[in-house]
Structures are given as structure tokens and as C-alpha cells.
Structure 1
Amino acid sequence: MRPDTPAAHTTEAERLLRTAEHYPEDREPLLLRAAAHLELAGDRERASTLYDGLLATEPEHPLLVKALQAANLWEYGHEAEARALIAGIRTAAPTDPAPWETIAETMESHDELEESHACFTEGITLLLTPGDDDVPYDTQPLLTGRHRVRRLLARPHDEWDRLADKVHTAHSPISLDELHDPNRLWALGSDNPAELRAEIARLRSELGSYRSALSRPFPVAVLHWPAPEFTELLTDYPALAAEYPSYAEHLTSIESSLRELAATGTANLGIVTATVPSFEAFAAAEASTPTNPALLPQYTTTLAARGRALPWPPPKGTPCWCGSGTAYRDCHGSS
């Protein structure tokens, strides 16, 4: 079960902190999740300390950490410091959508709608190409958030809004115009019990198809063995050849599995990269051996839970997940 009380969030944060000590290679994503739970527990000062600690160690995603720190600081009275961090992030112009989404939503949550709109727009303009409807999964929230803010600002639709609705309605029968109707958003703050009950019922209906995704704290992932690791795995553990007849079939299976999941409406998909030493350590921790094929899905889930999953499909213009060095669109994304 997911934590739903301050005490439960604190307990989960402590568990993640202990896990980070055992897996230093995954320290950053684990500490970010721990900080998020501390925020939900109301311990924002301790969360801020975690963010500061990460920034002091040259994290892999410093602008995301700064964005999360800014959001946290603003919530407990450090608005000036938060604004300074946000200004620095905008100047740095990150090519990762997550910092843009975080700072834009921070502005929105504090009724800075014009600034929120500017942040969403800057991120979209930097990351997407006008006229290209191929929007990476992790960039879609920028379109959705911008659409929501523009509705609150009573702005007319533009091409980005139309693209946002097209992407959204591909997996939902509810249009963004209806979902982001200001009257609906304001109804959530109504003092009228009947209005609140009606709106809650509508939201429950709309979110029904997303329950499994919302309750999952990490991506649904597929395991990828890079070529050298694949060779080493089957050399050391030939019994696994039944699971992996050939490397070409392994790569084909990864892409086809992810496409099948996407076709069924499963969101938040990813790929985790395996190594033989890591798999051996996992097997030992499970009091088993690497020859046990039943460990493979458990190993995959564990890597995803530790924040090791890369999003699928890869962001536009980035190399294919298979390691070929070719752009995904021209490699496994071409068929």
C-alpha cells in the first residue's frame, strides 16, 4: 500500500534513505523520493536538507533537484530563495522537461499564472518542434499544464493547445477543455456540498482508468542486457539460453513488449539495463541462483523501483535504447 499518513510517509522516507546507503549508485533517485515523502509528511526542512546535500555532491540532474528544492522552499516561507532558484533554472534552459514542469506548477500553485504560463511555454518551445505531433511521454505534462493555465487565464487556443488536446484524447474520452474548465476547477473550492459531491463524482469517473498507473510509484519496465553483458550472462549461465535464444531476438522482444503494453493503454513505461554482477548480487540476496529464470521479472521490478528505468519511448532525437548510437526513430523506433 502507498503511504497515506504523515507517519507512513516518514517511515517510507527512512526506508529509502537506508536503501540509498546500500545502493550508492542509485543514491540520487532514492534521495529524491525520500525528500518527496518527507514533504508529504510535513517535514519540509528535512526535505530541504536532503536537496541541499544532493546539490553539494554534483548530482546527475542538478536542475531538477533545484526545481524541487524551489517548490519545497516556497511552501514553507522561503519565497525569495525559491524565486531565485527558479530564475536560475529558466536561464539555464534545461533540455529535460521535469524541471520546467516543476517550476511551472510551483508558480501555478501560488497563483502566479502569467509566470507559470511563461515557464510552460519556454519549456515547450525548447523541447518540441511546431507541427510535429510526436510528443515524448515525459514532455506531455508540459502541454497539459500549459493548456490548464491558459484556460484559467482565458486565453484563446493556439497550436500547442490543439496538440495538447490531441495527445490527451488519444487515451481519454474527456477533452482537456472539459477537464480544465475553470468552473470545474473553482468548484473544487466551493462551499456548496452538492457542487463538491458532483465534481468529486466526475473526477472519480475520469480517473478510473488511471488507477493502476497512479498507484504505481515507478515505471512498468522491461529488462535490457547490453551485448557484452548478454554474452557474459549466457556464458556463465547457459541454462538461461531458453529465456534468451539470441541477442537479436532479445532486442526485438523488448521493443515489441513495450509496444504491446502501450497499445493496451499502459502509461509510464521504461527500460532497465542489467549487468551480470548486479543480477548475481540480487540472486544472492534472494537466496537463489542466477540460473533461476523466475528471478528475472523480480530483478527488473527491483531496478525500476530503485529509479534505474529510462523512459520509453526515448525522448525525440536521442539515441536508441539498444546502444546502437543511432537515433531511436531510425533504429528500433522505425518499424
Structure 2
Amino acid sequence: MRPDTPAENVDHTAEAARLERTAGLYPEDAEALLLRAAAHLELSGDRPAATALYDRLLSASDGLENPALIRALKASNLWEYDHEAEARAIIDGIRLTAPRDPAPWVIVAESLESHDELEAAEETFTEAARLLLTDGQEPPASTHPLLYGRHRVRRMRGLPHDAWDTLADTLHTAPVPLDELHDPKRVWSLGSDNPAELAAEISRLRAELGAYREALSRPFPVAVLHWPAPELAELLSAYPPLSSEYPSHETHLATIESSLRELSSSGTGNLGIVTGTVPSYEAFAASEGSSPDDTTLLPQYATTLAARGRAVAWPPQRGAECWCGAGEVYGECHGA
């Protein structure tokens, strides 16, 4: 449940340094960029440096978007290099403050789970579910990892299914059912000393996760640029030559969806949408020493926004609002 967790075939130290430099250039995006940098440092093995980044964020004078998430990530990281007491204190503090965002709950519960504290992990998942899930309403996509994690831990503990486990089964749409995915024998086989068992399980995991791993091999998504209607009107008023790219706002939205579907059908994963603003685009053009009416700048601008962590994943989760901003469910809007 880490934000933009990097893939394995990346030079993590170099990518962390790049993200830190980018954060310096774009302070408004620093929180998201430094969290990604810390994730790379963890994967590089430099956990103390990752902790230093978390502390840097937590000590910032500007307001943080999600301080509970940062504390949860710090606790998880600390526990991995023998700072258990400090990690536990942070976890207790997070549970006490009861954040309304599912991500910190998932991270601390998974940290407990990874250290074989299954009962405490289940309690944490359940506590979060009681706080964040509303009876009679479909859980938002952001809460699905809570239900999946709770299902996994309960399966490991040999507990019978309850209503939330059944709900998790319903929400899970991948080819492999949760009961099989969370089968204790399957999980334990990854720690087996039997080479045949390990080889068989690794083959299964590769088959299930191959496409996902390929998608994550890029440090940021392949992103398509989206202009909200007021921004597009301002853009075309200021730079009429761009009208050839954007005949109308409706055409612009339809082109975004069709382009993403075409990329997806060709096998491209890790797709996203970035939203442009005229001042940001003008600043980008100035930094490139070019004019904003140069159409070749548009894809470069989109790539830069994606590199700054501004991309929203496409397609949206089931039941989520459409990316276009109309306020309708994606499946009844551009996803229809």
C-alpha cells in the first residue's frame, strides 16, 4: 500500500536522488515526491536515509497533506532495521488518532503482519474497517486493501469467513480468488526449504503478476494530458495555434479516453492522466525556452507532470468518479 512503490529493475539510489532534486524544483509537489524517494531508498537498503526523509517531511513548517501516512511509513521502515520500540510507539499513536485515510491503517497492519503479529494485524484491519466502512454502501476503492488485508490475516489464522470476508471476495475481481491467493499453505511455501515447492510457487506468482511487474518497471506512468474546460478555454484564447490540437472540449475528452484505450489494448500498462493549468504550462514553456503555442511541448509537459507525481491512474477503480471531472461514475461516463 505504499505510494507509487518502485519496481525492482530501477537504480533506486539514483531515482531517489532524482526525485529529491525534482522536489526542490517543485515545492508544491514535495510531499509526494519525497515519499517516492523514501520508498526507493528503502528498496536500495538505505533505511536510515529513508527515515531521514520521513523526518524531514514531518518537521516541515508547511502543512502536510497526509501526516499519518508519513508516520506509518516511517514506523514500517524503522521496524525493518531493528528500531522496533520506536516503530511500535508510532503505530500505537496512529491507532489512537484514528485517521480517516485507509492507507496508514493498511501500512501499520501489514507491518504487524510481516512480523508475525497476526492477531494485532487483524485487530488493526478490523478497527479501520469499523471506522471507515458504512453499512449499506459499496466501499470506496481506497478501502479495498483494508478488506483484502483483513481477509488474508484471518485466512492465515484459520478463522471462518464473516460478512466482511464475503464482501472482500465480492470486490476482488482478479482471476485468482482470495481464498486461493491467501491460502496459508501457499503463503508458507514461499518460506519452504523444499526447492520444488519454491519453484512451483514462484512460477505461479510470475504468471499472476507478470503484467503488473512490467507496468511498474517505469518510474512514472505513461500519461495523457487533460485540460478542464475553463483551462482549455483560457489556453486557446491565449494561444490560438493550439486550436488545431483541441477543436473542442468534448473532442478533447473523447480523444483522451480513446488514446488510453488504444494504449491499453496494445499492452501498455501503468497508464495515467495529468491535468494541466495554463500558468503551469506557461512556466514549463519558459523553462524550455520555447513558446506555449508550440504543439510539440504538450506531450513533454504531460511527461513532466507525470514525473512530478501528478498522474492519476487510468482506468479509475470500479465505482469511482470519471477522470473528466463531471462528477459521474466512470462506468456511466467516459467508461461506458
Alignment partners' CA distance in 2, 1:297 and 1:34: 24
- Which structure has more relative contact order (CA 8 Å, sep 6+)? It is 2
8 Å CA contact 1:104–1:116 kept in 2: the answer is yes
8 Å CA contact 1:321–1:328 kept in 2: the answer is no
Percent identical residues: 64
Where do residues 192-207 of structure 1 align in structure 2 (5 Å cutoff)?
Answer: 192-207=194-209
What secondary structure does 1:223 align onto?
strand
User: Which TM-score applies when normalising by structure 1?
Assistant: 0.83
After TM superposition, the structure 1 stretch with the greater mean CA deviation from structure 2, 219-228 or 140-149, is: 219-228
Matched, 1:146 2:150: yes
Question: What is the aligned counterpart of 2:66 among 53, 61, 65?
Answer: 61
Alignment partners' CA distance in 2, 1:286 and 1:51: 32
**How far 1:314 sits from its partner (Å)?**
7.2
What secondary structure does 1:157 align onto?
coil
8 Å CA contact 1:317–1:327 kept in 2: the answer is no
Structure 2, gaps ≥5 residues long: 1-5
Structure-2 residue corresponding to 1:111: 116
Count of residue pairs brought into register by the alignment: 329
- CA 1:210–1:315: 2 relative to 1, 3 Å: closer
**How far 1:73 sits from its partner (Å)?**
1.3
Question: What is the aligned counterpart of 2:36 among 25, 33, 54?
Answer: 33
Deviations 1:20-78 (A, max 9, x none): 11111111111111111111222211211111110111321111111111111111222
8 Å CA contact 2:7–2:216 kept in 1: the answer is no
Matched, 1:14 2:17: yes
**How far 1:185 sits from its partner (Å)?**
0.8
8 Å CA contact 2:232–2:249 kept in 1: the answer is yes
Structure 1, gaps ≥5 residues long: none
Alignment partners' CA distance in 2, 1:133 and 1:45: 40
After TM superposition, the structure 1 stretch with the greater mean CA deviation from structure 2, 156-165 or 68-77, is: 156-165
Alignment partners' CA distance in 2, 1:318 and 1:203: 28
**How far 1:105 sits from its partner (Å)?**
0.9
8 Å CA contact 2:8–2:217 kept in 1: the answer is no
What secondary structure does 1:272 align onto?
strand
- CA 1:255–1:312: 2 relative to 1, 3 Å: same
Alignment partners' CA distance in 2, 1:299 and 1:145: 37
Alignment partners' CA distance in 2, 1:225 and 1:313: 17
Structure-2 residue corresponding to 1:237: 239
Alignment partners' CA distance in 1, 2:222 and 2:101: 21
8 Å CA contact 1:255–1:332 kept in 2: the answer is no
Structure-2 residue corresponding to 1:175: 177
8 Å CA contact 1:133–1:163 kept in 2: the answer is no
User: Which TM-score applies when normalising by structure 2?
Assistant: 0.83
Provide the aligned C-alpha RMSD in A. Answer: 3.3
Structure-2 residue corresponding to 1:165: 169
Matched, 1:125 2:130: yes
- CA 1:3–1:295: 2 relative to 1, 3 Å: farther
Structure-2 residue corresponding to 1:102: 107
Structure-2 residue corresponding to 1:214: 216
